[in-house]
Amino acid sequence: YVRTPSGACVNLLIDFNNCGSIGYVCSSTYTSCSNGACSGAPAVQLIGGVTISGWGGTVNVDDAYVSISLPFSITLYGYTTSSASVQSNG
């Protein structure tokens, strides 16, 4: 998040009207801002995080990759699943 000259706080990684830099508006040929770049993919912002404790992974989480079972199903881009892959680097 960064503060604009007007004082508003915006996320340059996902804000369609401040995509990658303050005031950069994606053209109408794009549908979203993803990682600071205009994109044609549908915009997705997950809210209402759920804590998943006791996932059974290793203590070391540096450069780790695990698959976990979720206590709920999630649908993204028309695909429904109750598992997720989690990867860390750092």
What residue spans define the domains of the chain?
Answer: 1-42, 53-90
In sequence order, which residues have a C-beta less than 8 Å from that of residue 9 and are 6 or more positions away?
1, 2, 3
Residue whose entry in the numeric block shows the structure tokens 């989690």: 86
Assess contact for 28 and 38: CB atoms under 8 A: no
Written as tens digits, the pLDDT of the chain (90 aa) is 999 999 999 999 999 999 999 999 999 999 999 889 999 987 666 677 766 665 555 556 667 777 888 888 988 888 999 988 877 775
In eight-state DSSP terms, residue 37 is E
pTM above 0.75, yes or no: no
List the one residue out of 8, 7, 1 whose CA is nearest residue 36.
1
